[in-house]
A and B are shown apart, each in its own frame.
Chain A
Amino acid sequence: MSTPLLKVRDLRVHFATEGTVVRAVDGVDFELRAGETLALVGESGCGKSTLARALVGLNPITSGSAELEGRTITGLTRAAMRPFRRELQLVFQDPYASLNPRFTIAQTLAEPLLLHGKANRDNVDGEVCELLGQVGLDPELRGRYPHEFSGGQRQRISIARALAVEPRLLLCDEVTSALDVSIQAQILDLLRSVQQKLGLSYLFITHDLGVVRYIADRVAVMYVGQIVELRDTESLFESPAHPYTKALLGSIPRVSSGPQAREPLRGEVPSPARPPSGCRFHPRCSLAFERCPKEQPELYPVGGGMSRCFLSQ
C-alpha cells in the first residue's frame, strides 16, 4: 500500500474569542490517495472550510498534523511552507474577490509562473496563453481586467492560477457555490477533465450533495468539527450509515415526483463554540439512546468506509 498523498491525523483548529473556545475543527482524521477526489461535505459551522485553510497554512493549527507524502506540512513557518506551495494549492469560493482588480489576467497568471521558475520573461506570455487554453478561455483575453469577466470565467482564471505551479493536490473551497447552475456544470466538467489530463487529486469542499455525487470518489461528511461518516460515494448515497447523513440526504429537495413526505430534521445546527455533550448529533437524532449524550463515539468501520455512531459499532 503506497503512502497516501495526504494524511491528516487528529487535526484540531480552535479559535479563542471572548472567553469561549470555538472548536471549529475538532479531531479530524483521513487520508487522500493520489488521483482521487475526496469531498468534504457539511452545513455551516461544520469546519470544512476552516480545515481546508488550515491545511494550506491560512489558519493556525491547535494540534494534530497533516502530511503530504510523508512530509509534515503543519506547524511550519511561512518560509518552510514555501516548497509546498508548488504541490498544494487552494481555489476560493468568491470569484469577485479572488482576483486582484488591478492586475490584467496575464499579470495574474504570470506571477506564479515566474515566481516558481515555470517560465522566464521571454516565454511567460506563451505559457500564460497555454494556461488559459487549458481552462477553456480565449488567450486573446489575457490583456483584460477581472471586472470584464463573468463569475464563471473568473473561477476559470483562479483555477488556471492554481494550476500554474503544477500542483499535486488542489483544494477546491466551494468553488461552484457562487455560480449559476449552468455555469457550475461547466466548471465541474472542467475540473474533471483537468484532473484526468494532469493526474491531479482534489479535496473538494462543498455543501451540495448533488455535486458530491457527480464528482467525488469518496465522501467525508462533517458535523460540528468532526467527520461523522467517511465512505466511498456510491455506498454513502445508496446506504448512508450515520443518522445525520440520512437526515441530510432526506432534506435535499429533489427534482422528482413531488414533495417528499419525509419529516425534516428538527432543531438548529449547533455552534462549534458549544458542541453538545457526547455524540454531537444526539439532540437532533431520532435514534438516540442513553449512551449517546454521555460518550463520544469513535469512527467504526462500515461497508465501504466508517461511521461515527454507536449503532455502527
Chain B
Amino acid sequence: MNEELLRVRDLSVTFATRERSVRAVDHVSFDVRPGEVVGLVGESGCGKSVTSLSILGLHEQPAARVTGSIRLGERELVGASRAELREVRGNRVSMIFQDPLTSLNPYLRVEEQLAEVLELHKNLRGPAARARMLEILSQVGIPGEERLRAYPHQLSGGMRQRICIAMALLCGPELLIADEPTTMLDVTIQAQILELLRALRLERKMSILFITHDLGVVSEICDRVIVMYAGRVVEQARTRELLQTPLHPYTEALLQSTPRVDVPRGGSLHPIGGLPPRLSADRLEECAFAPRCPRAREGCRNGEPALSSAGGERLRRCIVPLAEMTAGRS
C-alpha cells in the first residue's frame, strides 16, 4: 500500500458574493501518490482550478471559505498559517499556470526571478545559485547563459513556460501542480512541453497534479484521471480505462463531443445539450448532470448519487448500471 503524498478529503470551497453563496468545490476527495501524474479534468466552472489553488492556500480571504482536509505527508494545509504555507510553496509543492506571460514578473530578468526562489528556500546566493540556475535551465531544455539575462517579453510562449517550470523545480518539489500549462501554447510547442514534463517526472520521481480540459493531453501524460463536474468528482479511474470505457455519462459525452483527428470525416459529434449548472451553496436535489444527461432516468432526480466503487480503484457518481455503460454508446 503506497503512502500517499497528497491526501485531499472532503475539500469544499465556498465563495460568498453579495447576492448568494457559490460552492465552487463540493466535498472533493482524492489522493496523489509519489511519482504519479494525476489529471484533474473538466470544463470551465467545474472547480478544477479552484481545487488546485486550495492546495497552496492561494484563495483570497475572507471571500473564500475552505473546509475539509489537505494533507501533504503529515502536514495539514487547510488552515495552516501564512508562514507554514510559505515554507511549502515553491519548495515542497510548486505550481505553474496557464499564462506564462503573467506568471513572470515583466520587470525582472530571468536570473533575478530564479535567484529570488533560491535565496528564499535554499539560502543560495552568488556563484552557487548561478550554477544551480544553469543546471535547471539546461534540464528544461534552455542551455546556455544568454537566456538568464533576458526579460520575459523577449522570450516566446514556449520558452516562458519552460522558465516557469524551471522556477517551479528549483527546490526539487515533491509535487508539481500544473494548471492548464499548455492550453495557451501552439500544438507543436505543447508537444515539447508535455515531453519535458514526462521526462522530468521520471528523472525526479516527482508527482504532478495536471489540470486540463483536453482529454488528448490527459491521454498523453496522466496515469490516473479525476473528472469533475459542477464542483464534484464524478469519475475517477486509470487513464486507459477511463478513456476506453467511461463509466459516467458525462465522461462519455465529453469523449463523444470532442472532434477527433483520427476519426474520418462524416462522423458526427454528439454535443452535450444545455448549459453547465449554476453553482450554489444549497444541497442538490438531483444529480448535477441529470438535466443534460443522455442516460438520465427516474432515479436521477431523487437526490444526488454518492460516489461509489466501480471495481478496483475506479469510482463514479452515477446510478446507471455498469453493464449498461459498458454495453456501448447511448
Direct contact of A and B (CB under 8 A): yes
Partner-B contacts on A (CB < 8 A): 43-44, 150, 152-153, 180-186, 188-189, 207-211, 213-215, 233-234, 237, 247-260, 262, 264-266, 268-269
Q: Are B275 and A255 in contact (CB under 8 A)?
A: no
A210: chain B residues within 8 A (beta carbon): 258-261
In whole Å, how far is A149's beta carbon from the nearest beta carbon of chain B? 10
Q: Are B213 and A213 in contact (CB under 8 A)?
A: no
Contact of B262 among A251, A256, A259, A269 (CB under 8 A): A256
Q: Are A255 and B43 in contact (CB under 8 A)?
A: no
Considering the complex of A and B, which 8 residue pairs feature the smallest CB-CB distances, nearest first? Answer: A253-B216, A185-B271, A264-B191, A210-B259, A251-B191, A43-B186, A185-B257, A182-B272
What are 17 A-B interface contacts by the 8 Å CB criterion?
A43-B186, A44-B186, A180-B44, A181-B213, A181-B257, A181-B258, A182-B271, A207-B186, A209-B187, A214-B267, A234-B264, A249-B261, A254-B219, A255-B260, A256-B262, A262-B191, A265-B188
B215: chain A residues within 8 A (beta carbon): 255
Q: Are A264 and B216 in contact (CB under 8 A)?
A: no
B257: chain A residues within 8 A (beta carbon): 181-182, 184-185
B88 within 8 A of A: no
Q: Are A213 and B259 in contact (CB under 8 A)?
A: yes
A269: chain B residues within 8 A (beta carbon): 156, 186, 188-189
A43: chain B residues within 8 A (beta carbon): 186-189
Contact of B188 among A153, A183, A185, A251 (CB under 8 A): A251
| Bound Cα distance from A247 to B186, whole angstroms | 12
A252: chain B residues within 8 A (beta carbon): 187, 191, 216, 261
In whole Å, how far is B226's beta carbon from the nearest beta carbon of chain A? 17
Q: A185-B270, A254-B262 are in contact. Are A259 and B156 (CB under 8 A)?
A: no
| Bound Cα distance from A286 to B97, whole angstroms | 32
| Bound Cα distance from A208 to B187, whole angstroms | 9
List 16 other contacts, CB 8 Å, given A251-B187, A251-B191: A43-B189, A180-B213, A181-B258, A185-B271, A210-B258, A213-B261, A213-B263, A214-B259, A253-B194, A253-B214, A254-B220, A255-B255, A258-B240, A264-B192, A265-B188, A269-B186
The A-contacting residues of B in range 256-305, CB under 8 angstroms, are 257-265, 267, 269-273, 275-276
Q: A182-B271, A265-B191 are in contact. Are A213 and B186 (CB under 8 A)?
A: no
| Bound Cα distance from A152 to B276, whole angstroms | 11
Q: Are B156 and A268 in contact (CB under 8 A)?
A: yes
A249: chain B residues within 8 A (beta carbon): 261
Q: Closest chain A residue to B244 by CB distance? A: A257
Q: Closest chain A residue to B263 by CB distance? A: A213
Q: Are A264 and B44 in contact (CB under 8 A)?
A: no
| Bound Cα distance from A213 to B258, whole angstroms | 12
B275: chain A residues within 8 A (beta carbon): 150, 152-153, 183
Q: Closest chain A residue to B182 by CB distance? A: A253
B159: chain A residues within 8 A (beta carbon): 268
A251: chain B residues within 8 A (beta carbon): 187-188, 190-191
In whole Å, how far is B224's beta carbon from the nearest beta carbon of chain A? 14
B195 within 8 A of A: yes
B243 within 8 A of A: yes
B253 within 8 A of A: yes
The A-contacting residues of B in range 196-234, CB under 8 angstroms, are 198, 213-221
Q: Closest chain B residue to A238 by CB distance? A: B264
A248: chain B residues within 8 A (beta carbon): 187-188
Contact of A254 among B158, B194, B261 (CB under 8 A): B261
| Bound Cα distance from A257 to B219, whole angstroms | 8
In whole Å, how far is A236's beta carbon from the nearest beta carbon of chain B? 11
A257: chain B residues within 8 A (beta carbon): 240
| Bound Cα distance from A215 to B265, whole angstroms | 8
B216: chain A residues within 8 A (beta carbon): 252-255
B254 within 8 A of A: yes
In whole Å, how far is B42's beta carbon from the nearest beta carbon of chain A? 9
| Bound Cα distance from A152 to B157, whole angstroms | 27
Q: Are A253 and B219 in contact (CB under 8 A)?
A: yes
Q: Are B261 and A258 in contact (CB under 8 A)?
A: no
B265: chain A residues within 8 A (beta carbon): 213-214, 233-234
A237: chain B residues within 8 A (beta carbon): 261, 264
In whole Å, how far is A18's beta carbon from the nearest beta carbon of chain B? 14
A265: chain B residues within 8 A (beta carbon): 188, 191-192
In whole Å, how far is B202's beta carbon from the nearest beta carbon of chain A? 12
| Bound Cα distance from A266 to B195, whole angstroms | 11
The A-contacting residues of B in range 24-69, CB under 8 angstroms, are 43-44
Q: Max chain B CB contacts within 10 Å: which of A251, A260, A262?
A: A251
Q: Are B190 and A214 in contact (CB under 8 A)?
A: no
Q: Closest chain A residue to B292 by CB distance? A: A182
In whole Å, how far is A99's beta carbon from the nearest beta carbon of chain B? 17
A262: chain B residues within 8 A (beta carbon): 191
Q: Are B187 and A255 in contact (CB under 8 A)?
A: no
| Bound Cα distance from A256 to B243, whole angstroms | 7
In whole Å, how far is B161's beta carbon from the nearest beta carbon of chain A? 12
Q: Max chain A CB contacts within 10 Å: which of B194, B257, B259?
A: B259
B271: chain A residues within 8 A (beta carbon): 182-183, 185-186, 188-189
Q: Max chain B CB contacts within 10 Å: which of A184, A247, A250, A266?
A: A184
Q: Closest chain B residue to A263 by CB distance? A: B195
Q: Closest chain B residue to A259 by CB distance? A: B220
| Bound Cα distance from A176 to B283, whole angstroms | 33
Contact of B191 among A150, A182, A215, A253 (CB under 8 A): A253
Contact of B219 among A207, A250, A256 (CB under 8 A): A256
Q: Are A185 and B195 in contact (CB under 8 A)?
A: no
Contact of A181 among B194, B243, B254 (CB under 8 A): B254
Contact of B253 among A182, A253, A266 (CB under 8 A): A182
Q: Are B195 and A180 in contact (CB under 8 A)?
A: no
Q: Max chain A CB contacts within 10 Å: which of B198, B216, B263, B269?
A: B269
| Bound Cα distance from A104 to B89, whole angstroms | 46
